[in-house]
Structure 1
Amino acid sequence: MPDFKLKTDENSKATELPLIRICGTVEQNPHMRAFWGATVSFFLAFLGWFALAPLGLEVATSMGTCENQIYPPVEHPTRLAYLKFKSLKTGEAYCQYGIIKNSDDDPIDCAEVPYPQNTTGTAEEKKKYRPSILSSCVCTAGTNCNHIIANAGVAAVGSTIFVRIALGNLLERFGPVNVQAGLLSFGAFWVAMAACISAPWNYTVIRFFIGCVGATFVTNQFWCSLMFSPNIVGTANATAAGWGNLGGGVTQIFMISVLFNPMIDSGIDPNTAWRMAMIVPAVLFVLCAVTLKLLCWDTPMAKRFDVAVMGKTKKPSLWDYVEVLKDIRVVVMIMQYSACFGTELAMNNQLATHFRTYFQMDAGDASALAGAFGLMNLFARSLGGIASDILFKYFGFRGRIWAQFLALFFEAIFLFCFGLVDNTQPWYVALAVLIFFSLFVQMAEGTSYGIVPFMKKQQLAVVSALVGAGGNLGAVIAGFAFYKPISDPLLPFQVHAAYVLFWTLLTPCYYWKEHGGMFHGPAVEFATEKAENTA
């Protein structure tokens, strides 16, 4: 046996997770090299994946798709987006003297200037419309601009579904290091190409291909499952993925406050500044891919992965997916993951624009609030994995299932509460609810992958891939079914909460004879065998 730097079990998997013990050669410490390789690569992938989200209004302006660019207010004064517009900072409305509505209560025009303002008022008081108070880029819900951004956001998470599914076989054929380095190299090209966006069609196409790097999550979880023992795998998976997901929060702040705003302050044109900012994550992708190839192994004992490590004797095939999907428990897990990780992806696409349009915040403040959601990954997803491992220690597998149920349940509650926070309330109310919502979203992601490694051990790669794809499926469902078609700024969050709650209530479907279920322990023969092994 090699002289590992970590304590290991009989399969050479680490039984501990000392985060800063990174010393030693790759032969001595493959576990922590894999952990940090998985974490950093997924973090950077998230950074590039959602780099365009906080820059949405700048991109829209460059493409000329803002409502007030396509329909100048002077020529089209009765556009619905204008009639409903009100400045939260000044309290002034586009319609100075109120709105005229039809029989269906829909705005159709601004009210006429009343007497005596229409005769003795100032020039400003005689205005029926006030286009000067409109935002520089009107991109509110229901506008063409908003639909373009929403479609591109769906494309960015939709492409990852297919790549994540494909990784079930690709990981078994080529191993985690090769797959991760390949995804980052492919993503680097498309992130750099984002600097060339000029129209809605290529904006959507480029976000679609950038979305492929989101599949790095599957490698992240599969790689950690190969390196860490069952007693610590929930914590290892949750921490690696959580700190990777942290990139979703960091990118909201990094792209605006670290790259875009300083460029603007130095005198660079906004259209040029956001394009230059996109080059940075592309370069980081390439550097990370090279580092993985040079410094990491696939498994504790071998540089390259072999399916025999999982006790699998057959070569990987597409039929593996069919076999796995026959299991209703896997299907429920896929959809529950769509309700937690899918929700996080949807929020990464929606929050910055929501705060900038509905709450009329400037780019820096909006990105800070949106970033707070993702920054909870610093500890929240790890907390879910830790809770899963602790409850497993004291209550057996039933503890992991209850941890999953409770995290999803409170996620649904706080998502619904977030959908009740309107723009008449202070921003810190939205932030407070957002923090609790984010806590349970990310805990649910951690508890999910506390269960995944035990579902079908010989098909770990395929199960990890399908469940991971479920997260992106959830984001696509949310984008198309909740956020795109519903023009109300708050109702989509409430409907999304109902979706989360529905899948939460199917948690009792989890039952295995050898593990037990939510309300039952393992079958008698398995419980007896476990007791004898413990004795």
Structure 2
Amino acid sequence: MADFKLAVDENNKATELPLLRICGTVQQNPHMRAFWGATFSFFLAFLGWFALAPLGLEVATSMGRCENQLYPVDTNPKRVAYLKYKNISTTDTYCQYGTVKDSEGTLTDCAEVPSDIANNATASAEEKLKYRPQVLAKCVCTTGTQCNGIIANAGVAAVASTIFVRIALGTLLERFGPVNVQSGLLTFGAIWVALAATIQVPWQYTIIRFFIGCAGATFVTNQFWCSLMFAPNVVGTANATAAGWGNLGGGVTQIFMISVLFNPMVSSGMEADTAWRVSMIIPAILFLICAAAMKLLCWDTPTAKRFDVAVTGKTKKPSMWDYVEVLKDVRVVVMIFQYSACFGTELAMNNQLATHFRTYFQLPAADASALAGAFGLMNLFARSLGGISSDLLFKYVGFRGRIWAQFLALFFEAIFLFCFGLVDNSQPWYVALAVLVCFSLFVQMAEGTSYGIVPFMNKQQLAVVSALVGAGGNLGAVIAGFCFYRPINDPLIPFQVHAGYVMFWALLTPLYYWREHGGMFHGPAVTEEKVEKSQAEEPAGPAADVAV
């Protein structure tokens, strides 16, 4: 047995997760190199994946697609987006004396200035204004505008592309191994993140966000790689921590792109149109540095530089039929959609929150990005908490504990998402933040509890299961974008409807049942002795630990 820096089992998988034990050569410490390689690469992928989200209004301004750019207020004073506009901080409205509606309740114009004010010689010029264009934001991009639609469509494109790439990774990981796949994804992503600086028109914005989204598939490698390196007693914690700290990039980018890059550049005298473009170059450079570091410093498995399918006990070559075989299992299908209800929700929030706080709560860019970033920053501990709770309940209650951890996390996620959808802009922003933090806690715990179960579902098809479940997360974001946030012309109802989607899949948790593990309400159908006997008859290899 090799002289590893970590304690390992008979299959050379680490039975501990000492986060700071990073010393030693790659032969001595492949486990923690893989852990940090998986974590940092996914973190940077998230940073670049959503880098354009907090810059959405700046990009829209550069493309000339704000409502007040397309329809100048002096020649189009009756645009609905203007008629219903209200400055939250000053309470000033565009229509100084109210609005006029037609018989169907549609806004048609501002109410006329009352005659006693119009004829009052002492009334100020501002008091005699029917319209107050000075109240409008620099870029009006509220719900129902073309600007808002462009941003929403690009957000859906950014998560849609990852579905296909994540599914493909089930086979690609088996053929090329985690290091090659992860390095390739970051290199490809770097090209498109850099090209974002050239955006001029909406179709370019959508296409570039689509291709940047391919970097989001790094999550599948993240989970597969950690599952190859860590033993069953800590695999839930390792998977949850690596993915959680990787997802942290989604929160950091909300703050990093605005407060660290864009705002300082503008303050130094750079034009806003140039500043956001220069800002996009930084993540691209970080992508390339990380890809090179992984290629040079990491191994795929504890004892081999490159992965071989025999490690998972698989005797057949990878094929597309593997996906069909895996999808025959209803438990895998439920997990795919439950992951769409947690990770898909996080992706949807990464796309929505910065713009929601800027347009609905009318907060400055830095403040809005900070609040949106708070959602993602919960990944610092929340997803790990989900993995730890799954492992802990597994230790004391058995596999039933993992299932209950999954259900409770999804259930409370739905509750707090619905509550967030009830917070309107008549309430202070910190009310929305308080609910958002609770909501974020359970979203990311649910992601952690999901990957406390995934490694146990099908030991020989671990790569395919990881790929399909990971793709399910992006599928959830696409469903949310197309079915909830894009078509519903209201700033709050989409969050409430989305909560119903999460609750539906949470209530299907009782469908999880394994003869050897039991289910949510039932114990195992076979004794421990029979399970051990059946395992002894299975192909030998490190992957035998994945499903026990």
On whether the aligned pair clears a TM of 0.5, the verdict is yes
Tell me, in whole angstroms, the C-alpha distance in 1 between the residues paired with 2:148 and 2:176.
40
Tell me, in whole angstroms, the C-alpha distance in 2 between the residues paired with 1:46 and 1:515.
35
Given the alignment, which residue of 407, 410, 416 partners 1:408?
Answer: 410
2:102 aligns with 102
Q: CA RMSD in A?
A: 1.1
1:434 aligns with 436
Tell me, in whole angstroms, the C-alpha distance in 2 between the residues paired with 1:532 and 1:450.
23
Tell me, in whole angstroms, the C-alpha distance in 2 between the residues paired with 1:532 and 1:49.
44
Kindly provide the amino acid, as one letter, of the partner of residue 104 in structure 1. E
Tell me, in whole angstroms, the C-alpha distance in 2 between the residues paired with 1:531 and 1:202.
58
Q: Residue 277 in 1 paired to residue 279 in 2?
A: yes
Instruction: Write out per-residue CA displacement over residues 96-127 of structure 1, whole angstroms, 9 at most, x where no aligned residue.
Output: 00011122222111000112211223221121
Tell me, in whole angstroms, the C-alpha distance in 1 between the residues paired with 2:182 and 2:524.
37
Tell me, in whole angstroms, the C-alpha distance in 1 between the residues paired with 2:89 and 2:382.
34
Given the alignment, which residue of 329, 332, 347 partners 2:331?
Answer: 329
Contact conserved, 2:389 with 2:449, CA < 8 A, in 1?
Answer: yes
Q: CA deviation at 1:529?
A: 4.5
Tell me, in whole angstroms, the C-alpha distance in 1 between the residues paired with 2:54 and 2:94.
26
Q: Residue 36 in 1 paired to residue 36 in 2?
A: yes
1:113 aligns with 113
The alignment's TM-score, normalised by the length of structure 2, stands at: 0.96
Given the alignment, which residue of 178, 201, 204 partners 2:203?
Answer: 201
2:538 aligns with none
Q: 1:336 to 1:532 in 2, by over 3 A?
A: closer
Kindly provide the amino acid, as one letter, of the partner of residue 182 in structure 1. G
1:307 aligns with 309
Contact conserved, 1:184 with 1:289, CA < 8 A, in 2?
Answer: yes
Tell me, in whole angstroms, the C-alpha distance in 1 between the residues paired with 2:526 and 2:276.
62
2:47 aligns with 47
Instruction: Write out per-residue CA displacement over residues 435-481 of structure 1, whole angstroms, 9 at most, x where no aligned residue.
Output: 00000000000000000000001000000000000000000000000
What fraction of aligned residue pairs are identical, expressed as a percent?
80
Contact conserved, 1:141 with 1:489, CA < 8 A, in 2?
Answer: yes
Contact conserved, 1:139 with 1:146, CA < 8 A, in 2?
Answer: yes
Q: CA deviation at 1:56?
A: 0.3
Instruction: Write out per-residue CA displacement over residues 298-355 of structure 1, whole angstroms, 9 at most, x where no aligned residue.
Output: 0001000000000000000000000001111000000000000000000000000000
Counterparts of residues 337-376 of structure 1 (less than 5 Å): 337-376=339-378
Instruction: Write out per-residue CA displacement over residues 376-427 of structure 1, whole angstroms, 9 at most, x where no aligned residue.
Output: 0000000000000000001111000000000000000000000000001111
Given the alignment, which residue of 517, 520, 525 partners 2:519?
Answer: 517
Kindly provide the amino acid, as one letter, of the partner of residue 61 in structure 2. T
Contact conserved, 1:238 with 1:446, CA < 8 A, in 2?
Answer: yes
Q: CA deviation at 1:526?
A: 4.3
1:254 aligns with 256
Kindly provide the amino acid, as one letter, of the partner of residue 199 in structure 1. V
Tell me, in whole angstroms, the C-alpha distance in 1 between the residues paired with 2:46 and 2:245.
10
Tell me, in whole angstroms, the C-alpha distance in 1 between the residues paired with 2:302 and 2:213.
30
Tell me, in whole angstroms, the C-alpha distance in 1 between the residues paired with 2:424 and 2:105.
20
Kindly provide the amino acid, as one letter, of the partner of residue 45 in structure 2. A
Given the alignment, which residue of 214, 217, 223 partners 1:215?
Answer: 217
Q: Residue 71 in 1 paired to residue 71 in 2?
A: yes
Q: 1:440 to 1:527 in 2, by over 3 A?
A: farther
The alignment's TM-score, normalised by the length of structure 1, stands at: 0.99
Kindly provide the amino acid, as one letter, of the partner of residue 197 in structure 1. I
Q: Residue 229 in 1 paired to residue 244 in 2?
A: no
Contact conserved, 1:398 with 1:521, CA < 8 A, in 2?
Answer: yes
Tell me, in whole angstroms, the C-alpha distance in 2 between the residues paired with 1:527 and 1:250.
49
Instruction: Write out per-residue CA displacement over residues 153-175 of structure 1, whole angstroms, 9 at most, x where no aligned residue.
Output: 00000000000000000000000
Kindly provide the amino acid, as one letter, of the partner of residue 430 in structure 1. A
Tell me, in whole angstroms, the C-alpha distance in 1 between the residues paired with 2:422 and 2:287.
39
Moved more, 204-213 or 105-114: 105-114
Secondary structure in structure 2 of the residue aligned to 1:108 = strand
Tell me, in whole angstroms, the C-alpha distance in 2 between the residues paired with 1:364 and 1:280.
19
Instruction: Write out per-residue CA displacement over residues 247-286 of structure 1, whole angstroms, 9 at most, x where no aligned residue.
Output: 0000000000000000010000000000000000000000
Kindly provide the amino acid, as one letter, of the partner of residue 518 in structure 1. M
Secondary structure in structure 1 of the residue aligned to 2:100 = strand
Kindly provide the amino acid, as one letter, of the partner of residue 201 in structure 2. A
Task: List 4+ stretches of structure 1 deviating above 3 A.
Answer: 525-533
Tell me, in whole angstroms, the C-alpha distance in 2 between the residues paired with 1:528 and 1:298.
33
Counterparts of residues 426-505 of structure 1 (less than 5 Å): 426-505=428-507
Tell me, in whole angstroms, the C-alpha distance in 2 between the residues paired with 1:348 and 1:180.
22
Kindly provide the amino acid, as one letter, of the partner of residue 378 in structure 2. M
- Unmatched runs of 5 consecutive residues or more in structure 1: none
Tell me, in whole angstroms, the C-alpha distance in 2 between the residues paired with 1:40 and 1:315.
30
Contact conserved, 1:513 with 1:526, CA < 8 A, in 2?
Answer: no
2:9 aligns with 9
Q: CA deviation at 1:525?
A: 3.5
Kindly provide the amino acid, as one letter, of the partner of residue 40 in structure 1. F
Contact conserved, 2:516 with 2:526, CA < 8 A, in 1?
Answer: no
Given the alignment, which residue of 290, 294, 311 partners 1:292?
Answer: 294
Secondary structure in structure 2 of the residue aligned to 1:100 = strand
Kindly provide the amino acid, as one letter, of the partner of residue 80 in structure 1. V
Matched residue pairs, number? 533
- Unmatched runs of 5 consecutive residues or more in structure 2: 536-548
